[in-house]
Amino acid sequence: MALTVEKMEGGKLSQSFLISNEPLYVNHFNMLFEELWKNGVDAQQRLKDIELGVDLADIEVIPNPKRAQEIYSNIVRSATKVILWIFPTTNAFIRQDKIGAIQLAKQAANKRNVKVRILVPTSNLIEQKVQRLKEYCPNRLIDVRCIEQMTETKATILVVDRKASLVMELRDDSKPTFVEAIGLSTYSNSRAGVLSYVAIFENLWAQSDLYEQLKVNDKMQKEFINIAAHELRTPIQPILSLSQILQSEKSNNTKQQEFLDAIVRNAKRLQRLTENILDVTRIESQSLQLNKEQFNLNENIRYVINDVNNQAGLRNNNNSAVSILFEPKQDVFVEADKVRINEVISNLLKNAIQFTKEGTITIAAAEKMNYNEVLISIKDTGTGIDPEIMPRLFTKFISKSVAGTGLGLFISKSIIEAHGGKIWAENNADGKGATFAFSLPLSK
């Protein structure tokens, strides 16, 4: 039975009825009922929501950025307790500051005691704006934490009073205005959805706490290592100098000469370790300085080869069966830090010697005019690179040698990249040894 309920006054009865057992009509109205039932709300849950003061969930997908901006301003303006914000990029924060969203949050904090918590990527520009925010709102109602730039998250998330959320997808972060940069937006007051975003925010907020603590600990550790390395450097130099003076004096006491050789060798090793530690701290603090000059690269390679051959520690390291070959065809000039490039060549050459029991180490330097660069390669016939460490070869403390610290390749990579070059390594195709190579821009 279907009936039409019209406006009936004075006890008038409904005038329009349809009563039928025709299957077509019955199936039709049955389908209507099932559709309404499927989209209905559980009555008991709805009664609980009413008791808690929760309205029926309203979810709206907003394709129009101007409409999204309007809703955005309205829900920030309506905040009475708390505003939670996650900005994925520095530009997202700046754009929304321009449209007045941050100003509305400041007003909410000062006039209505709304607590504002913001997560935003680290940036010098944002740090200045955050400082001004805190000065404007001295009662600590506005709290800003820095997080790493979220490359995978491309949406600004806003939650107000834990009751409403607005998620604005980032279409093009390079655009200067909100309307140009924003894609689809989704507004919701669904309790489950909003609380999910609150949970995401709280997790990131807790991570930011941990991140700040790690930064402080990392800074203290680097300062300690830097001080320790400088303190080590002070006594090493006189030990090395005085030992070398005694070593240079002719003596018939063979045992004494052996002791002096050991002192000099280990003092040099300690000196290299100290310099490596200082280099790492400079690299990580981005204070590695280059003193560039134009020089003949081949002359430097010859100098390094002679220096390595003359080092007692390498000469007595069972490497008598290893020969170093370097036969340059023409002079190659580069504009670089001569001392640092020597350090790189020396690191690579010493590595090759360490892992080569017999055979040859071939050094080559050739211009690649098409790329306006020079390529330097050091090829050995040693044990090759262990596949286990290959992916992490140029990172800190990666080494298969019991004698090395695993800092040389990390430092070499940083030096070459600071010059605008590249460094890489591979095992040789014939299965014997490995080749380390790096490129440098040719001198102009």
Q: Please check the confidence at residue 318 and state whether its pLDDT lies above 60.
A: no
Per-residue confidence (pLDDT) for residue 150, from 0 to 100: 62
Domain assignment present for residue 265? The answer is yes
Q: Are residues 311 and 433 in the same domain?
A: yes
pLDDT in tens, 331-352: 888 999 999 999 999 999 988 9
For CA atoms 111, 117, 120, 126, give the dihedral sign.
positive
In a domain, 304, yes or no: yes
Query: Both ends of the chain: CA-CA distance in Å?
Result: 94
Give the single-character DSSP code of 53. T
HSE (side-chain half, CA atoms, 13 Å) at 101:
29
Of 103 and 5, the structure prediction assigns the larger pLDDT to: 103
24-78 pLDDT per residue, tens: 888 888 998 998 888 788 888 878 877 876 666 678 899 999 999 999 999 999 9
Does 101 reside within a domain?
yes
> pTM value?
0.51
What pLDDT, on a 0 to 100 scale, did the predictor assign at position 63? 92
Task: Please indicate, yes or no, whether residues 250 and 323 belong to a single structural domain of this protein.
Answer: no
Residue 112 pLDDT > 60: yes
Of 377, 416, 382, 378, the residue nearest 400 (C-alpha): 382
Does 197 map to a domain?
Answer: no
- 374 is in which domain, residue-wise? 290-441
Q: Give 267's pLDDT tier (boundaries 50, 70, 90).
A: confident
Mean pLDDT of the region 204-210: 81
Burial 405-418 (b: 16+ CB within 10 A, else e): ebbbbbbbbbbbeb
pLDDT for 396-410, tens place per residue? 877 766 566 678 898
> Do 274 and 309 belong to one domain?
no
Domain of 80, CATH number, reads 3.30.870.10
Q: Three-class SS of residue 437?
A: strand
Confidence category of residue 320, pLDDT binned at 50, 70, 90: low
Q: Are residues 270 and 347 in the same domain?
A: no
The predicted structure's pLDDT at residue 197: 92
The mean per-residue pLDDT over the stretch 174-187 comes to 91
38 with 66, same domain: the answer is: no
Which of the residue ranges 37-41, 235-239, 278-282 would you say has the lowest mean pLDDT?
Answer: 278-282
Residue 68 lies in a domain: yes
- Phi, psi (5° rounding) for residue 241? -65, -50
Same domain, 234 and 342: no
Last residue of a domain, one of 259, 283, 307: 283
For residue 403, the cross-strand partners are none
- Identify whether residues 324 and 415 lie together within a single domain: yes
pLDDT at res. 74 = 92
Residue 63 and residue 50 share a domain: no
pLDDT at 372: 85
* 433 & 305 share domain: yes
Work out whether the CA dihedral 32, 35, 38, 40 comes out positive or negative: negative
Checking if the pLDDT of 362 tops 90, the result is: yes
Residue 3 lies in a domain: no
pLDDT value of position 152: 64
Least confident of 139-143, 201-205, 222-226, 416-420: 222-226
Q: Which of 154, 189, 224 delimits the end of a domain? A: 189
CB atoms within 10 A of CB 227: 11
Q: How high is the pLDDT of residue 311?
A: 66
Q: What is the mean pLDDT of residues 242-262?
A: 81
Report the mean per-residue pLDDT for the chain.
Answer: 83
For residues 312 and 29, give the distance between their C-alpha atoms in angstroms, rounded to a whole number. Answer: 99
Same domain, 74 and 39: no
297 and 370 share one domain: yes
Which segment of 29-33, 71-75, 149-153, 315-319 scores lowest on mean pLDDT? Answer: 315-319
Q: Which CATH number characterizes residue 355's domain? A: 3.30.565.10
Higher pLDDT, 359 or 4: 359
Same domain, residue pair 95 and 181: yes
Looking at residue 147, the DSSP 8-state letter turns out to be E
Query: How many structural domains is the chain composed of?
Result: 4
Contact indicator for 374, 367 with CB cutoff of 8 Å: yes
Closest CA to 435 of 362, 341, 343, 332: 362
CB 406 within 8 A of CB 399: yes
User: Residue 376: what pLDDT?
Assistant: 93
Helix/strand/coil (H, E, C) string of 317-333?
CCCCCEEEEECCCCCCE
Q: Which helix (H) or strand (E) holds 59?
A: strand 59-62
pLDDT band at 260 (very low <50, low <70, confident <90, very high): confident
**Would you say residue 64 lies in a domain?**
yes
| pLDDT value, residue 315 | 46
13 is a domain residue = no
Higher-pLDDT residue of 231 and 150 is 231
Q: CA 113 from chain center: how many Å?
A: 36
Check whether 22 has a pLDDT greater than 80: yes
